[in-house]
Each structure stands twice: as C-alpha cells, then as structure tokens.
Structure 1
C-alpha cells in the first residue's frame, strides 16, 4: 500500500463557524460550529488516507491547546508522532457570513521555537518512512530559514523524495540547496518567491521553469485559483483549466490538490495524470465547507472530466 510521512511544524486547531451577518463590536451568535485538526501536512495526511493510502503525521505541538490537537487527530484516526514544544498550538478561525456568502479567515502566526525544539524535529525525521515526505506549512518564529533545506538533505540520505509546500522564507530557504522533488506554490507564493508580478501566463511559466532548470525542484505545480494550475517539468510547462464547480470555500484546496497528486505518484501514475488528479481534488475541496477538505468519491468523480494538460 502507498505510504507517506508528513511534517507540520505549525499545526492548527481549525475552528469553523457560520453567522448570519458580521458586525463590529456586537456579539454574534454562531451556528454550525466545527473543530478539526489542521496545518498543511496534517491536511495532506487526512486526504491521502481518505484516498486509501497510509500516512504518518509528524507535527510539533504544545501548551494548553496541544492536547486538544492530539485528540482531534485521534478522532480522525491518523497515525501521529507528536514533537513536544513549549509554546501553545495555534487556533485558526474561518467565519462564513451567510448573508453575503463571504468567508473571513483568521490565522495566528504560531508559537516561537527554541533551537532545541526545531532540532528535535530534524532528529525525528531521521526515522521517517514512506514513498515521500510532504513538508507543508509556514515556518514558525525561531525556526531557521533553511530548515526545509536541512530536511531535504536528511531525506536524500534516506532515499525519500521531499515534497515541499511552504511560502516566504520557508519556500525560498527550502529551495536554497536544491534537490527538492516537488513544490506546490500558489501564484501569490510564486510571485513572492521570484519578486515579480507575473501578470501573464508566459511569465508564470518562465518563473516555474527557471526553478526546474536550476535544479532547485524537479517539478513545480503552481495553483492559479479559479484559472487552473500549471505544471513545470524538464519537458516544459503545461496548463490545466480549473474544474467548474459551485465553490463553497477555498480552505484546504491547495492541500487537497497536493495530497491527491502525491497519492497518484505513489501509485505509479505519470506526472501528467497525477497533476490531473490534483486538479480534480482541488475542485472537490471547494465543494465542501472549509473544515472538510476533499472527499475521495468526489475526487474520483471529477477526475475523468479533467482534460490532458496542454
């Protein structure tokens, strides 16, 4: 059976609410309250397991909210390896305003790590197993910018390809020594990485292809929101349009995309078909409220309608 490990340095307890209308100052009573374990790597593991694979989640957590995250992970029956830290696990909120259909998201920065804490994360990864290691999410304060590059080196020694989904310093630092298997930036994250506006498709393709040609990452999958996604490989760039669905939330679409793409690759699919499967999963994710991520049956239902990339 296919298997991966995931790393989430900065996990969250994701809280989703609905309110009739958002007002300042006034107390607002919420409906449809929902709690779920979150953070990039944890979300990837949730979708990967739904698709039929095995995933072990490595994550750092602490403070009074740490045990609550542990309990949520157990409710989702995820195999987990907690790396204890002193600071409290963050709590993120998504509020859906029923009147407008708009969603408001509040995401804390996360706890500050000591050197001993982030080094303990690296030590735990020396035991990671699986077809891939997916390191996903932001770098918490106190963690060095080249942390994910160090992870890539540890995984190279173990013969495990690194899939990286981060932003800002986490992404640029992770690519600084090359050798990453796959990165999945959003268009905004790619713009931040290269320091350019990338206002036309040709500029996006060229930026992604530069990362491939320079040896920083073998593959680059750029998610473009409602415009679709782009994949850069040594054979050149190719594009897929977004699947047209009735979107309810954008939360978790990128994580669902990545989980499905890695699942397909771990099953031996071609990179193009894995890319198509990822696009189907991104569309499946937005069909659901923000806490739910993509469901396996929806991914497989949408996949046949995704064309070959061009």
Structure 2
C-alpha cells in the first residue's frame, strides 16, 4: 500500500498538565506532566501508524526542544525526515481545570524560518513523497514562511502525481484552495471565513461547502463540527457524520486524528461509509491519551462521493 507523507512546518512539544482551579495572580500547583511530540502533520503521521498504515513525517526541528522532539519521535518509532533550523522548536501548553476538565490551551509562535530553511522543507518533501498516496500538509505555518507555502505544496504534489490534503486556516488555506487540492478540512469558523457566510444554520453551511467544491477548490471538503461530527462534501454527494457517545477527555488533536482516519481509509480504498467511520476510531488513540471521538459513518444525503 502506498505511504502517506505528512508535513509539519511548525511542530511543538505538547505539554499537558492539570490544576484544581485556574485563578489569577496565585501560584497554581500543577499535577503530573506529560510531554508528547505535536503539530498537525506529526499528529496525523502518528495516528496513521497506530491504525496500521505507513507514514513518513517531514518536519522542522531546532534547539534543545528540537532534540527532545527527536527523542520523543524515536520512542514512538515514527519514520521521519527532519529539517534542521537555527531557531528552537516551540512548546504548546494545555492545562485541564478541575473535575470538569475545562481546557486552557497556550500556543507559542515558534521559530522564524529563513527562505533557505523553508525551501529545504519543500526539497525534503519532494524526496520522500515519490510514490506516495497522499501528502498531508497540516498545521500553522511558522513565522517567515510565505502564505502561499501550502499552495506550493499542492503544485509539487500535482507534479509528482500525488493527492494532497490540507488542514490549516486563514490566508494559507485560501491560497491552497485557490491552487486546488484533493481534500481540505476546515472547521465551521474557517468555512465561514472562506465563504463569507456568517450564519450557523446547517443548511447554509452545507450550501457553502457545495459551492467551494463546485468552484474546484477541493474534490473533497470535510468540515469538522466538534461534538456535532463532520460534514463531507464532494461534487456528487454530501454526507453528515454524527459522533457516537464517548467520554470526552480532551479536544486536543481530535481534528488531526480525523484527518488521519479519513486519509488512511482513502489510501486503503475503503467504501464511502467506512471512510467516514474510519475517522471515528482514529480520534480515540490520538497522540496523547485524552481523545475525543469525532465522527461515525452515518449517511446524511446523496449518493457515494467516491
């Protein structure tokens, strides 16, 4: 089976802990600390591997935190290709509060990449993506990286004959969709930004998704809706996937797990409902142990999109 290549321009060490209550000014005594290798593409590659697929992660790393990232990925046994940076890999910090497990997430900006550094990322991607089934470009762009970087990835993928999946936001997402991708996974807020539709009405959101697909921005548009599941749209059909009842522990990495499940199911040539359902168990093994299941494979409307 062809492999899946993921790209992470701005990876992180994900630090997770808990406190009884978040209050200003006082020292907050934290519980046990967990550190995981993180960032969109790294999360996707890890979940693909946990589900029995073949993945190669391309990512940046620098400084002492970059060395820790390498150690953590080595422990996970992940196939990978790193690009060395002058700047240090960032950290992200998540604090769960009390029994209700409300989450507070703090995201640092990451190192600034020079043009030679981000160009080396494209070169490394081209090296490992030959013969791949998919390139998954996921996560935010590091400072210094041009907004059209994921559009450049899409052009590279077309030249290699590889389908590309993009999961990002803002100007980088718009630029990638202008170039055209196989699949994109915006959330509802990102769908509003792309379409200019401000309403939360589901029918209006579904129409906005169909319009983006009809304009050739993506062959598949998978809109994640948190606890409400996901909406999958193609040129011939539209499916709504509803989440099964699960214990919610954390939303961190759930979207990346959804992308991993969908992409792996596509690689395996599974039928449409199985592809949507494949994203459901993917959210559970996640990259750290506090997962939220995203979707199941219930058909909303239309015929098979694949």
Residue 140 (1) aligns with residue 142 (2): yes
Residue 269 of structure 2 aligns to a residue whose secondary structure is coil
CA drift of 1:99 comes to: 4.1
Structure 2: distance between partners of 1:94 and 1:267: 34
Distance 1:194 1:109 in 2: 27
1:231 correspondence with 2:228: no
Out of 173, 176, 179, the residue aligned to residue 174 of structure 1 is: 176
Question: Matches of 1:174 and 1:293 in 2, distance apart?
Answer: 31
Which of 234-243 and 43-52 deviates more?
A: 234-243
Alpha-carbon contact 2:248-2:291 (below 8 Å) kept: no
Pair 1:131-2:133 in alignment: yes
CA distance in 2, matches of 1:238, 1:214: 19
Q: What's the counterpart of residue 39 of structure 1?
A: 39
Equivalents in 2 of 1:266, 1:115: separation in Å? 33
Asked whether the equivalents of residues 16 and 291 of structure 1 are also in contact (C-alpha less than 8 Å), the reply is no
CA distance in 2, matches of 1:268, 1:164: 20
Higher mean C-alpha deviation, range 8-17 or range 61-70: 61-70
List aligned pairs for 1:1-310, cutoff 5 A: 1-129=1-129, 130-178=132-180, 180-282=181-283, 284=284, 291-292=288-289, 306-310=297-301
CA contact (8 A) 1:96 1:103 kept: yes
113-122 vs 47-56, greater mean Cα deviation:
113-122
1:309 shift after superposition: 3.8
CA distance in 2, matches of 1:229, 1:113: 34
Q: Deviations over 1:227-256 (max 9, x none)?
A: 121011011322122222221111111111
Structure 2 CA distance for partners of 1:146 and 1:2, relative to 1, 3 Å: same
Q: Answer whether contact 1:272 1:309 (CA < 8 A) is retained.
A: no
1:291 deviates by 2.6
The normalised TM-score by structure 1 is 0.90
Residues 43 and 293, structure 1, Cα contact 8 Å, conserved in 2: no
2:197–2:205: 8 Å Cα contact kept in structure 1?
no
Gaps of 5+ in 1: none
CA distance in 1, matches of 2:290, 2:43: 8
Match of 2:270, SS? Answer: coil
Contact 2:240 2:298 in 1 (8 A): no
CA distance in 1, matches of 2:260, 2:177: 20
For the 8 Å contact 1:63–1:87, the answer to whether it is kept is yes
Q: Name which of structure 1's ranges 194-203 and 134-143 shifts more when overlaid on structure 2.
A: 194-203
Distance 1:171 1:217, change over 3 A: same
Q: How far 1:33 sits from its partner (Å)? A: 0.9
After superposition, the C-alpha distances for 1:81-121 in whole angstroms (9 at most, x for unaligned) are 11111121110011011244211110112221111111111
Measured after TM superposition, the shift of residue 2 of structure 1 is 4.8
Question: Where do 5+ consecutive residues of structure 2 fail to align?
Answer: 302-306
Instruction: Find the residue that maps to 2:73 and give its secondary structure.
Output: helix
**1:27 deviation in Å?**
1.9
Alpha-carbon distance in structure 1 between the residues aligned to 2:76 and 2:212: 36
Q: Classify the secondary structure of the residue corresponding to 1:126.
A: helix
